[in-house]
Structure 1
Amino acid sequence: MTGRGKYETRLDPALWAYIDSVNAWYPPEIIGLPIDKQRAVYDRMCRAFHRGRPAGVKASDGLIAASGHGIPIRHYQRASKAARAMVLYFHGGGFILGGLDSHDDICAELCAGTGFDVLSVDYRLAPEHLHSAAFEDAMSAFEWAAAASDLPLLLCGESAGGNLAAAVAQATRRNARAAIGQVLIYPGLGGDESAGSYVEHANAPLLSVGDIAFYRDVRSAKRQLPDDPTFSPLRDSDFSGLPPTVIITAECDPLSSDGETYRDRIVAAGGKAWWHEEPRLVHSFLRARTTVPAAAEAFTHIVAAVAALGWGEWPYL
């Protein structure tokens, strides 16, 4: 196949099969279609990739009352085991796509793999709801979970959801019920787009810098302040007091440098943070976990990180 450029031999055939499958369902040019059309195609793709829930995991849907609207949530629990912690999970999708169903199997597997409760949050999407709507919903979900459960809280999110998890961690770090840890999966944190992976992997498969700019612009309110840490967590001026943080990124992803920079900022402020770049993987590798061995291994790293933080361990040196 042509058009693969420097990634032709850099990525293995199993990963290319996954990339080709994603592009067949959700081709790059779809970004020019109206948002409702993009969502319809994305939802069909998510249904096609859904692997079902592991045995022993039950899920129930609910609604959090927020100011003027309700926030749908899905609560995953092990059927016969008391949980040690609760994970708040924020899905990816560029702030314009996704919901409770798009990441249902991922959340269920995270519940099964850790034994923890998982609370998936269906935050409001752009462009109908510009920033700071998604962040406000993420905060409301955190506050609701802190009040409704005595379990320690962990924050977890991928891509856009990683942005929300980091923003919530920063906004709630002084709370009495602050999160005990956070795991961010290839998050977009608003890093320097003139250096690092943004340049080296500007045209990587499944996510380009052009895509990043599109999602950022769709989400932005008028006169969006670039230094707003609830929009771009790396624009914060203070990284002290954050919970132990694990960031896992993909090598061939323009966002990878955000993970390294976030790690460095937290460590410089005296906190605990560990960043791992999964070699020869691309953005959205979570959906490849059942067909690509490297993605399956990366998912085990994510589950292990959530489990370790939930038990108060720090095995990262």
Structure 2
Amino acid sequence: MSTDYSVLIDKETWAFIDRTNSFYPPNAIDLTIEEQRGVYNTMCRAFFAGYPEAVSSMDAFIDARDHRIPVRVYDKSGSKPEAVCLYFHGGGFVVGGLDSHDDVCAEICDGTGFRIVSVDYRLAPEHLHPTAFRDCRAAFEHVAVTSDLPIIICGDSAGGNLAAAVTHHVRLHDRAPIGQVLIYPGLGGATDQGSYLTHAEAPMLSTRDTVYYANIRGGGFNWSTDPRFAPLNDPDFGGLPPTVVISAECDPLSDDGRHYRDKILAAGGKAIWNNEPGLIHAYLRARHSVERARSSFRRIVTAVHLLGQGRWPGQL
């Protein structure tokens, strides 16, 4: 199915796509894992926007059962945090880390005044599923024990998957998250229908890419019935906290957000889904150069802020 991206995507966004592709080529999955990480890290450094003046960060470790998990903790000076937000970065479970989303986390901290804890979960293929999930859940357990602040969980792309998976598994915890914000998440939807067909060849992320990352993460095993791998396939959507899902229109993953919202609503929960017109996967890095991305990032920060205060955004 052919989609005319020359109509859907504006000039600002095309300029961002071209700049991204100059660092991280569309066929990056054909590179070795080491090469993928090299070009991704170079790209992230090129887009790094620095910290807002009032924000500082500190690196630390969480001692899990079999591993020390690196984290980066962000705070805003002159602001007493009302909540703590766990952030899980994107990168297909293969690339990314504390530095790749460093400025994004700093700006969420600045916009909300919340403490942000970014988690450097272990990556595939060296560490297959469910390692990343276990690291993220361990980070939640640590925050739940060491802080009395309300907890929000947030993540983009692969991190959105992990955010949802952790939220599903800790919903009965006495310190369960009071909200979650998922940014263009991949949640395990069927790749032979809907947006996976309509946007199979979307700029920045193709359906072929999504299949590749799932195979790498799962070690070639079909984990599709495991909610830790594919939260959309959890048979129980009851008891989840208020949820905001923000997808990009020109992204094979967009229907995952819609279906996830629908399942929460069908189970009697609260959820909204924004499908950002004309935007593409990974547009967080365009928030300073593309007006559509800038506006969407403001909505993301607003969602984190309101949910962390126990308020329901209603619509964004």
Give the TM-score normalised by the residue count of structure 2: 0.97
Aligned-pair CA distance for 1:31:
1.4
Match of 2:114 among 107, 113, 116: 116
Q: How much has 1:50 moved relative to structure 2?
A: 0.2
Matched letter for residue 268 of structure 2: G
Aligned counterpart in structure 2 of residue 98 of structure 1, from 78, 96, 99: 96
Is the 8 Å Cα contact of residues 125 and 219 (structure 2) preserved in structure 1? no
Q: Which residue of 2 aligns with 1:7?
A: 5
Cα distance in 1 for partners of 2:306, 2:223 equals: 36
Could you tell me which residue of structure 2 aligns to residue 21 of structure 1? 19
Q: Which of 283, 287, 300 is 2:281 aligned to?
A: 283
Unmatched 5+ stretches in structure 1: none
- 1:177, 1:30 → 2: CA distance? 40
**Which whole-Å CA distance do the structure 1 matches of 2:138 and 2:182 have between them?**
19
Map of 1:163 onto structure 2: 161
Give a deviation string over 1:167-196, Cα, whole Å, max 9, x none. Answer: 000000000000000000000000122222
Deviations 1:209-254 (A, max 9, x none): 0000110000013544320000000010000000000000000000
Tell me the SS of whatever aligns to 2:27: helix
- Alignment check: 8 A CA contact 2:156 2:184 kept: yes
User: After superposition, where does 1:131-170 map in structure 2 within 5 Å?
Assistant: 131-170=129-168
Q: CA RMSD in A?
A: 1.1
Amino acid at match of 1:172: V
Using the alignment, how far apart are the partners of 1:127 and 1:315 within structure 2?
38
Partner of 1:175: 173
Query: Where do 1:236-275 residues align within 5 Å?
Result: 236-275=234-273
Specify the SS of the correspondent of 1:203. coil
Mapped partners of 2:277, 2:4: distance in 1: 15
What's 1:68 paired with? Answer: 66
CA distance in 2, matches of 1:315, 1:248: 13
CA distance in 2 between partners of 1:78 and 1:158 (Å): 22
Q: TM-score, normalised by structure 1?
A: 0.97
Using the alignment, how far apart are the partners of 1:20 and 1:221 within structure 2?
32
Distance in 2 (alpha carbons) for counterparts of 1:179 and 1:98: 24
Match of 1:198 in 2: 196
Residue 221 of structure 1 corresponds to: 219
Deviation at 1:32, TM superposition (A): 1.1
The answer for unaligned runs of 5 or more in structure 2 is none
Report the count of equivalent residues. Answer: 314
Query: Is residue 304 from structure 1 mapped to residue 302 from structure 2 by the alignment?
Result: yes
Corresponding position: 1:51 with 2:57: no
Q: Residue 236 of structure 1 aligns to which amino acid in structure 2?
A: D
Q: Mark the CA change 1:200 to 1:223 in structure 2 (over 3 Å): closer, same or farther.
A: closer
- Give the Cα–Cα distance (whole angstroms) in 2 for the partners of residues 168 and 147 of structure 1: 16
Q: Deviations over 1:148-174 (max 9, x none)?
A: 111100000000000000000000000
Q: What SS is found at the alignment partner of 2:275?
A: strand
Within 1, Cα distance between the matches of 2:236 and 2:277?
A: 30
